[in-house]
Structure 1
Amino acid sequence: MNELLPLITYQPSPLEPSADAERVPATPTVATRSPLLPDRRPKRDFFVCDIFDAAIKSDIASLEHPIFSLSTKPDHNVRVYEHGDIFVKIKPSSDGLATVHDRDVLIFCISQLMAGLKEQRPASQIVRFKAHELLTATNRMTNGQGYDALKAAMERLAGTRISTNIVTGGKEVFETFGLIESARIVRETRDGRMQEVEVKLSDWVFNAIERSEVLTLHRDYFRLRRPLERRMYELGRKHCGRQSEWKISLELMQKKCGSTSTLKEFRRMVHEIVEQDAKHGHIPDYSVTLDDSDMVLFRNRGALMVKSLETPRLRMSLNAETYLDARVLAPGWDVYYLEGEWLDWITEAPRNADAAFLGFCKKWYERRGPPK
């Protein structure tokens, strides 16, 4: 499993765009070049403005737990992840497990649906889009290789089967399901390139969208070359959020990343990323350091914190019955304290504030239990 190769010899996965495929005026040395992939669409065409303007969103569950493989080669291993009361079993198809780079398809679909909900358009479990729009928005090549890789990604997403008790949208799912239920090419050019694509999201993912269980990602996420870099950013975004800093042991981070490397090799890979970040500051939103006691520290670079200070807390009126229901879902907790925590946590108004608050209270109690 090539989760991370040295920067000099790094080979992209089939879905990951190749930096070498782009013609650039000059080739910087390995020591000075940015670890980020080039921004392939710095000048945005007018017809993709809406795609770029949609905030990049991902469901919270797959940010927190290792749903996707870090491998850059076909991964046919069955993965089992347990943490506390959380259980996830991930089975590959003959094409292998869905990868961290494959999840770009899901991020694109989630982002478009969340943008529609913000404009009060109804969400549909079936998302139709032009393949070129997805490749452009996710900073991928739009040549034949890019289209072939997109097809392969959708096959792995549909083929990877998951059994879990992770709750999304207030629903606990135990049956096996795919990350996407199906994908269909609606229109194809004469040379075989996709024009229009339909993706049907799984109930698990769609439940998260309907309940706004999503977080916004930095646009440079799509420019991160290495699967492990992306996974580390995902963990930082989920757990550090708008806090000033967040610590995690290297061993626990390896588990949450889903890495199958030895701890020694994982330490080497993380150390290499940390060194690159110290030189270039390329990890979005957070700086990352690793100390001698194997503690990984994520520090907020400030953009999210400043936004948090500048953006006033959302104000919403809840029904009186909602507070009574909240006391049942989180016995012993002050429901008005929980309301304040909830308002600090959400970034945009949900469609159903009462249901969203009750879902928050349920998860709060499941994770923390009664107050101590």
Structure 2
Amino acid sequence: MDSLLQQFLQLPKEQRQSYLRLLNQHPQRETALHILLTLPEQISWLLAKEKQDGAQLQFLRQKAEQRLALLLRLLVFRKTMPEPSVPVQSAISPQPPLEAFETRFWKSDSFSLELPLFALSGQDTPEIWQWQNRDGSRQLSIQVTDPLIGRATVYDRELLVYFCSQLCQSQVNGSGALPNRLRFSVADFLRDTGRDQGGRSYRAVEKSLQRLCNTEFAYRQQGLAEVEQRLLVSWFKLASAEEQKIEVELSAWLLEAVQQRQVLSLHPGYLQLRKPLAKRLYEMVRKHCGRQREWRIGIDALHLKSGSQASRREFRRMLRTVLAEGPLPGYQLLWDASRDQLQVLNRDPLLPGFHPRLKSGRMIWRRENNHASCQSHGTPPTLRREIIRKKSR
């Protein structure tokens, strides 16, 4: 057995507990992993970091992670695994499978639906990314703690949708105050979101959790206090012989959104969208169109709101590809070339609306009742209403 592990097992229980708690805090995780490297390996780590040798850093990190996994197994075998740093009652067990829920129980906070918190591509990983709306009243800054891990993408967002849905279900069931920690089974998440349940998918979930913890945002809006938080505070793999379970600590911004009911239902088909721009388009449409029958947006505003780092010409090409593939879940997308706008039509047949004849008469009445048209036409209002009735027939 490695002498490093032997030395660690001989430490007092309190020191082992402090070390494992340090691993849960993402900013200190790299420092904690250094303890499981020999002195020559730590020197190699520092030299690779200076030379920005990603391959060597990844190799040493994997070696430290392997020793950590072995150490945790040894602690379980010796029955010396420390208790979690947060009492168990602060975490809740997984809810029933979401596939048994009604459609309305796929939930997302409206904050991340509107703002481009997530990258459309895994290549969009600058250490600091700045965004602001056209009048500059809203500003967003995205920063990654470790460039090698990268920024959270729209695919990683599905985990936050899953957590938000669980919190909303807990709120509906009247479970009291919302917990800041959730425990979930990776197998349940993969099944509920329609993903493959192979080993590669399990590793992809862990990488998504790493990117969520690695991504910090700072949001400024005129008249409001500045918000600086991580997308996800931390995550911790629980030792279980039956299935792989993970405990996550949620950020305050997500808990606040659920508590204040600033959430929207998502169509289950959203999780099946595979193109990143299609997923981002659905998020914007769901936030801005909502229950309206129609919503329009120009190409420049759409490019800005999407958060895409592609050129305007490339963005047009990607948009044409998405439009050619058919409608989004619940919405029909049309391109109005004369106005250079995207037109969104709500396909929900249960939306309230006017009878076509009444709707036609109502639109004519609005035009005719305008003050300017009253002066130009010179027709008495009673006669105009009679004309409107005849036109609507």
Q: Corresponding residue for 1:341?
A: none
2:368 alignment counterpart: none
Structure 2 residues without counterparts, runs of 5 or longer: 1-94, 355-393
Contact between 2:97 and 2:192, CA under 8 Å: does it hold in 1?
Answer: no
Where do residues 211-222 of structure 1 align in structure 2 (5 Å cutoff)?
Answer: 211-222=260-271
The letter of the residue matching 2:142 is I
Larger RCO of the pair (alpha carbons < 8 Å, separation 6+) = 1
TM superposition shift of 1:188: 4.9
Q: Which of 348, 368, 371 pairs up with 1:302?
A: 348
Q: Distance in 2 between matches of 1:226 and 1:155?
A: 22
- The one-letter amino acid paired with 1:270 is L
**Change over 3 Å in CA distance of 1:272–1:99 after alignment to 2:** same
Deviation by residue 1:37-90 (Cα, 9 ceiling, x = unmatched): xxxxxxxxxx95455406110000110110000004462352211124211100
Shift of 1:272: 1.3
Q: CA deviation at 1:189?
A: 5.3
Secondary structure at the residue paired with 1:79? strand
Is 1:285–2:323 an aligned residue pair?
no
Measure the CA separation in 1 of the matches of 2:185 and 2:250.
16
1:345 aligned partner: none
* Number of matched pairs: 252
User: Aligned residue for 1:147?
Assistant: 202
Q: 1:52 to 1:250 in 2, by over 3 A?
A: farther
Partner of 1:231: 280
**In the alignment, is the contact (CA less than 8 A) between 2:118 and 2:157 conserved in 1?**
yes
- Correspondence list, 1:322-333, <5 A: none
Does the aligned pair in 1 maintain the 2:335–2:341 contact within 8 Å? Answer: yes
State whether residues 289 and 298 of structure 1, in contact with CA within 8 Å, keep that contact through their aligned partners in structure 2. yes
Following superposition of structure 1 onto structure 2, how do residues 164-183 of structure 1 map, counting pairs within 5 Å? 164-165=219-220, 172=224, 174-183=226-235
Task: Report the structure number with the largest CA radius of gyration.
Answer: 2
Q: Take 2:308 and 2:344, find their aligned partners in 1: how far apart are those partners? A: 19
Q: What is the rounded CA distance, in whole Å, between the counterparts of 2:165 and 2:348 in structure 1?
A: 24
Comparing both structures, which one devotes a greater share of its residues to helix? 2
Against the structure 1 CA distance between its residues 157 and 173, is the aligned structure 2 distance closer, same or farther, given a 3 Å change threshold? farther
SS in 2 for 1:128: strand
Name the aligned partner's letter for residue 193 of structure 2.
Answer: T
Report 1:1-372 matches (<5 A): 49-50=97-98, 52-53=100-101, 55-73=105-123, 75-83=125-133, 84=135, 85-92=137-144, 93-94=146-147, 95-122=149-176, 123-165=178-220, 172=224, 174-188=226-240, 195-277=244-326, 281=327, 283-292=328-337, 293-303=339-349, 305=351
Q: What is the alpha-carbon root mean square deviation over aligned residues?
A: 2.3
Residues 1:165 and 1:188: Cα distance change in structure 2 (over 3 Å): farther
| Mapped contact 1:60–1:215 kept (Cα < 8 A) | yes
Contact 1:242 1:304 in 2 (8 A): no
- Matches of 1:148 and 1:251, distance apart in 2: 37
In the TM superposition, residue 233 of structure 1 has moved relative to its aligned partner by 0.5
CA distance in structure 2 between the aligned counterparts of 1:49 and 1:103, rounded to whole angstroms: 19
Which residues of structure 1 form unaligned runs of 5+? Answer: 1-46, 310-372
Give the alignment's TM-score, normalised by structure 1: 0.63
Do the aligned partners of residues 50 and 301 (structure 1) sit closer, same or farther apart at CA in structure 2, a change above 3 Å counting?
closer
For residues 350 and 97 of structure 2, the distance between their equivalents in structure 1, rounded to whole angstroms, comes to 24
Which amino acid is 2:106 matched to?
Answer: I
Percentage of identical aligned residues? 31
